[in-house]
């Protein structure tokens, strides 16, 4: 692999060579990605996680189909006119129905969509907060650093589920986006600590000094030089945050504080619990719980495998990136 | 830094954090839409009683004075009256607090100990089938959805096999009977406690095991392990006396960091099992718009988490002399 040098651009080498600097960099990135991918794929845990995740992705995509076939399959409003109580699985209702005759299978599919929506968006937001705060704290140092980190400590000791519950009691029914935002607001401290420590060590590297000497502003150093280097770690933490976001949302819904306009797996569990069907209807109790547990497991497994790709110390001997 | 200084500093920090939480709750209470007076005063009270309560809580004063009243009331233990129970909130809390502390501390201690033990063993056999399968099993345990697994356990072990009671903390008939001895009562509580405890244990043990495993792997590559082997100690001594104690330190840290997570789980467990703890009380109060009870329960849960954090810090400093000196 040819090494990228600045000289080749200036003397016009790039003009003769069909591969210019940007292309070179891209092909280098692609190669790195492929190597990382093969490491990831060699990992049993990562492979299981990915396959599980693809199944859930498929479920989320398929969730749009049942309501199109027949309006009675609509997860929230569709009611089978012939059924007035919870029924076991049948040909018309693959997983049976709930106590008012709604189709459980289509509810389960919709739950996958909500889980992805909540998990990924809350995780993304908490990563954005965490990375920004961590970078600023690590880069600025001194008072800013200690203030931000003390603040992170305070948020870290708060039981997030119970805080969101308390908010629900003060502000009334929360909709799904407010829940997502609240989860994100309570889940950034862990990320920001890791990003901060990475920034602290990056700050000592010569290339940051060079950028400063070349006249780069603080913002430019932060976003052009430090951010690309901490991004892999932030992405890794995002997979773990997806897990915790899905769990918090499901727990809220289970306790009856979810968004009443959405059908999530936690909501399904709340219905089976509150209507007293938990001993009578295993076909209703088992699937949502298995789904929540497996989707969090799949993100967690992906995260563990990614961790091994990113951290050379965790690799087996002979493997390299 | 000396041990006593360290404890003093951490206590001060925790006091500051508690004040921030206290103030944050006050702000939340006043920023939320609606009238603070109607939140603290039970609608079914007579106007005279309501006036007494309002002046006690300082709700007829300007906001900054209200804050001072609020802090003063907190330290004198006056949280108003619970709407649902119709008696002072503080008496409800005192009843529930020990139940939560018992369940919470036993589950954290047991799962951390089991995690350390199994993590040590599994790391020792790295790469063998036992390692692979126990690691995957702990990942599964760690990501199980707590309320669901609790319902499942109640269904299987409570309803199906009938080994354990379905919910609650005591058998009322047994406790009504004046002839029941102390020992029988204790066994009764334990019998009710086993299933919630087992649920919390399953949820927590996986995470501790994984942390212990990776920390043990790191420790095993240290030079002093090589030295221990070189001087002819047998493998068991190397594992249990030289590697494990050092490797267990990160587990202690992670216990501290996951306390908030554990108390979330504790509240869910208490709710599903109808264990009369403070977490269940908070969820119950929030569902019933019993604001005085909700506020006080939240504050006391924060205190439990903060004190547990302090205990973990002290334990860490005790176990790791490098922190002390």
Nearest CA in chain B to A247: B145
Q: What is the pLDDT of residue A32?
A: 76
Q: What is the pLDDT of residues B86-143, one digit of tens each?
A: 788 888 888 888 888 988 889 999 999 999 999 988 988 888 888 888 988 998 998 8
**A-contacting residues in B 7-26 (Cβ below 8 Å):** 17, 20-21, 25
State the pLDDT confidence band at A6, using cuts at 50, 70 and 90.
very low
CA-CA distance, B31 to B232, in Å (whole number)? 68
Dihedral angle sign, alpha carbons of residues A269, A271, A272, A273: positive
**Residue of A162, A265, A283, A307 to mutate for B, most B C-beta atoms under 10 A:** A162
Distance of CA B118 to the CA centre of its chain: 23
| Region A238-257 average pLDDT | 89
* Global ipTM: 0.85
* Contact status, residue A219 vs residue A139, Cβ threshold 8 Å: no
Which of A159, A170, A301 lies nearest to residue B301, judging by beta carbons? A159
Asked if pLDDT for residue A8 goes beyond 70, the answer is no
Query: Does residue A103 sit in helix, strand or coil?
Result: strand
CA-CA distance, A112 to A117, in Å (whole number)? 9
Asked if pLDDT for residue A7 goes beyond 60, the answer is no
**Residue of A53, A149, A169, A171 to mutate for B, most B C-beta atoms under 10 A:** A169
Closest CA to A295 of A47, A46, A50: A50
| Region A232-250 average pLDDT | 87
State the pLDDT confidence band at A16, using cuts at 50, 70 and 90.
low
Q: What is the pLDDT of residue A158?
A: 85
Q: What is the pLDDT of residue A218?
A: 83
* Contact status, residue A272 vs residue A287, Cβ threshold 8 Å: no
Average confidence score pLDDT of chain A: 81
Is residue A257 less than 8 Å (CB to CB) from chain B?
Answer: yes
Dihedral angle of Cα B264, B266, B267, B271, to the nearest 10 degrees: 140
Based on the number of CB atoms within 10 Å of its own CB, is B31 exposed (0-12), middle (13-18) or buried (19 or more)? exposed
Is residue B264 less than 8 Å (CB to CB) from chain A?
Answer: yes
DSSP H helices, chain B, are: 3-31, 36-40, 47-57, 63-75, 89-124, 129-143, 146-153, 172-176, 182-220, 223-230, 235-237, 244-247, 249-257, 259-273, 278-287, 291-319, 321-324
**B-contacting residues in A 32-71 (Cβ below 8 Å):** 44-45, 48
* Contact status, residue A270 vs residue A260, Cβ threshold 8 Å: no
Residue A296 vs residues A29, A53, A120, B14, B323: alpha-carbon distances, Å:
30, 9, 12, 33, 36
State the pLDDT confidence band at B324, using cuts at 50, 70 and 90.
low
Query: Which residues of chain A make contact with B20, given a CB cutoff of 8 A?
Result: 154
CA-CA distance, A193 to A199, in Å (whole number)? 10
Query: Does residue A97 sit in helix, strand or coil?
Result: strand
A249: how many CB neighbours lie within 10 A of its CB? 32
Asked if pLDDT for residue B21 goes beyond 70, the answer is yes
DSSP H helices, B58-128, are: 63-75, 89-124
Nearest CA in chain A to B140: A297
CA-CA distance, B195 to A44, in Å (whole number)? 33
Q: What is the pLDDT of residue A13?
A: 46
Nearest CA in chain A to B33: A171
First to last CA, chain B: 5
* Degrees, nearest 5: CA angle B257-A194-B264: 30
Q: What is the pLDDT of residue B243?
A: 84
Structure tokens, A5: 């040098």
Place of tokens 């990562």: A46
Burial state string for B65-77 with b = 16 or more CB within 10 A and e = fewer than 16: ebbebbeeebeee
State the pLDDT confidence band at B165, using cuts at 50, 70 and 90.
confident
Q: What is the pLDDT of residue A292?
A: 92
Q: Which uninterrupted H or E stretch holds A292?
A: helix A282-310
Which of these ranges, A192-196, A226-230, A306-310, has the smallest mean pLDDT? A306-310
Structure tokens, B70: 């609020």
Asked if pLDDT for residue A121 goes beyond 90, the answer is yes
Instruction: Tell me the pTM.
Output: 0.84
* Degrees, nearest 5: CA angle B99-B115-B245: 110
Most confident of A153-157, A264-268, B252-256: A264-268
Q: What is the pLDDT of residue B254?
A: 85
| Region A232-240 average pLDDT | 84
Closest CA to A166 of B273, B84, B32: B32
Place of tokens 């993590």: B119
- Helix axis angle, B182-220 relative to B249-257, nearest 10°? 120
Q: What is the pLDDT of residue B325?
A: 54
CA atoms within 13 A on the CB side of A244: 27
**A-contacting residues in B 131-190 (Cβ below 8 Å):** 132, 135-136, 139-140, 142-149, 151-152, 154-155, 159
Q: What is the pLDDT of residues B242-256, one digit of tens each?
A: 888 888 888 888 888
**A-contacting residues in B 271-290 (Cβ below 8 Å):** 271-272, 279, 282-283, 285-287, 289
């Amino acid at each position: 692999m040819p090494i990228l040098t600045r000289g080749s651009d200036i003397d016009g080498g790039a003009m003769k060579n069909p591969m210019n600097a940007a292309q070179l960099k891209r092909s280098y990135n692609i190669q790195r990605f492929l190597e990382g991918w093969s490491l990831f794929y060699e990992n049993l845990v990562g492979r299981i996680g990915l396959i599980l995740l693809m199944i859930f992705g498929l479920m989320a995509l398929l969730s749009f189909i049942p309501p199109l076939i027949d309006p009675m399959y609509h997860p929230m409003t569709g009611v089978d006119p012939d059924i007035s109580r919870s029924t076991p699985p049948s040909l018309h209702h693959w997983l049976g129905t709930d106590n008012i005759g709604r189709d459980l299978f289509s509810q389960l599919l919709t739950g996958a969509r909500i889980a992805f929506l909540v998990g990924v968006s809350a995780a993304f937001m908490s990563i954005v907060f965490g990375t920004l705060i961590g970078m600023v704290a690590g880069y600025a140092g001194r008072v800013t650093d200690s203030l931000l980190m003390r603040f992170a400590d305070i948020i870290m000791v708060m039981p997030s589920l119970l805080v969101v519950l308390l908010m629900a009691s003060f502000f009334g029914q929360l909709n799904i986006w407010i829940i997502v935002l609240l989860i994100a607001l309570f889940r950034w401290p862990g990320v920001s600590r890791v990003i901060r420590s990475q920034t602290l060590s990056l700050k000592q590297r010569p290339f940051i000094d060079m950028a400063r000497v070349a006249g780069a502003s603080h913002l430019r150093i932060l976003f052009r030089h430090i951010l690309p280097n901490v991004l892999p770690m932030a992405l890794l933490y995002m997979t773990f945050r997806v897990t915790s976001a899905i769990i918090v949302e499901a727990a809220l819904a289970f306790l009856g504080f979810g968004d009443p306009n959405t059908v999530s797996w936690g909501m399904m569990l709340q219905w089976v619990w509150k209507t007293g069907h938990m001993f009578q209807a295993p076909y209703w109790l088992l699937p949502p719980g298995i789904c929540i547990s497996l989707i969090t497991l799949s993100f967690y497994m992906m995260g563990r495998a990614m961790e091994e790709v990113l951290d050379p110390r965790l690799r087996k001997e002979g493997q390299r990136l | 830094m000396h041990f006593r200084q360290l404890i003093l500093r951490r206590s001060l920090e925790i006091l500051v954090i508690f004040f921030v939480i206290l103030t944050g709750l006050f702000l939340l209470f006043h920023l939320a839409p609606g009238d603070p007076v109607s939140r603290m005063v039970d609608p079914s009270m007579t106007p005279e009683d309501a006036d007494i309560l309002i002046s006690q809580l300082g709700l007829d004063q300007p906001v900054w004075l209200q804050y001072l009243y609020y802090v003063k009331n907190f330290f004198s233990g006056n949280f108003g009256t619970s709407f649902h129970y119709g008696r002072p909130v503080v008496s409800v809390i005192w009843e529930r607090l020990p139940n939560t502390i018992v369940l919470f501390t036993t589950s954290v201690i047991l799962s951390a100990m089991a995690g350390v033990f199994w993590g040590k063993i599994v790391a020792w056999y790295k790469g063998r089938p036992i390692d692979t399968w126990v690691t995957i099993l702990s990942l599964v345990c760690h990501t199980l959805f707590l309320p669901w697994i609790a319902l499942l356990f109640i269904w299987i072990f409570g309803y199906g096999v009938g080994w354990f009671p379905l919910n609650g903390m005591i058998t009322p008939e047994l406790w009504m009977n004046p002839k029941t001895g102390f020992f029988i009562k204790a066994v009764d509580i334990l019998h009710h406690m086993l299933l919630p405890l087992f649920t919390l244990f399953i949820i927590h043990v996986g995470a501790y095991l994984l942390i212990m495993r990776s920390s043990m792997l790191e420790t095993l590559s240290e030079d002093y392990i090589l030295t221990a082997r070189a001087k002819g100690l047998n493998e068991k001594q190397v594992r249990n006396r030289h590697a494990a104690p050092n490797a267990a330190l990160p587990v202690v840290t992670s216990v501290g960091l996951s306390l908030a997570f554990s108390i979330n789980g504790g509240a869910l467990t208490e709710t599903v099992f109808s264990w009369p703890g403070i977490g269940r009380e908070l969820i119950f109060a929030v569902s019933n718009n019993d604001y005085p009870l909700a506020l006080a329960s939240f504050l006391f849960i924060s205190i439990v988490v903060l004190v547990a954090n302090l205990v973990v810090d002290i334990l860490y400093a005790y176990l790791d002399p490098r922190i002390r000196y």
